Amino acid sequence: MKKELMDILACPMCKGDLELSIEAEDEKGEVVVGSLYCGKCDLQYPIDDGIPNLLPPELRQSSD
């Protein structure tokens, strides 16, 4: 995921701002593993293989 996406991404539940937490980056500086956190909803959205999963938690669990 490109860090520039943080300018346009919002929490899908409340449209609040998201905070980026990076666990791993690639050689280009793009996020490979990490998470996005919404302080208003107290929800965390995972980033795996550079793809943020912005599904609501109840839908995310059923798709695993």
pTM above 0.75, yes or no: yes
| pLDDT higher than 80, residue 64 | no
Q: Phi/psi class of residue 41: alpha, beta or left (left: φ > 0; alpha: ψ in -120 to 50)?
A: alpha
pLDDT digits (tens, 9 = 90+) for 4-24: 999 999 999 999 999 999 999
pLDDT digits (tens, 9 = 90+) for 23-46: 999 999 999 999 999 999 999 999
Range of the domain at 38: 3-62
Q: pLDDT at position 56, please?
A: 84
Helix (H) or strand (E) run with residue 60 in it: helix 57-62
**Percent of the chain's residues with pLDDT above 90:** 86
The domain tally of the chain equals 1
pLDDT digits (tens, 9 = 90+) for 46-62: 999 999 999 988 887 65
